[in-house]
Amino acid sequence: MSGYDPEMRVVYFKSEDDGDATFDGQICHAYLHLADGSTGDEGRDLGFITLTQAAKLAQEHAAELDVDGPTREEWDRPPHRSFLDRLLGR
């Protein structure tokens, strides 16, 4: 990664699936990495929180929010229905 700043603060938000909540209300595992050596490789475990909470924590710690998961456009896209589902009206 070019331009890497070893002092960068990052809140990692790790989405594990598409979920069924709103994009901002999705609940995923989050970590706070302060890049100062005090939090270990994974960072401080923030537990399972919403994307809105992760964004607020990132702002409070002057950190970048790194969302690992679908984009808002992908999240809001209607689910793909199979031919059989469409045929049966599901």
14-67 confidence digits (pLDDT tens): 876 655 678 888 888 898 887 665 544 557 888 999 999 999 999 988 899 998
Report the domain count for the chain: 1
Residue 54 lies in a domain: yes
How far apart are alpha carbons 79 and 18 in whole angstroms?
A: 10
Top pLDDT among 78 and 12 is at: 12
- Which pairing describes strands 10-14 and 27-33: parallel, antiparallel, or unpaired? antiparallel
- pTM over 0.95? The answer is no
Q: Which pLDDT score, from 0 to 100, does residue 5 have?
A: 47
Range of the domain at 23: 10-87
Residue 83 confidence (pLDDT) above 80: no
Residue 75 lies in a domain: yes
Q: Which pLDDT score, from 0 to 100, does residue 70 have?
A: 82
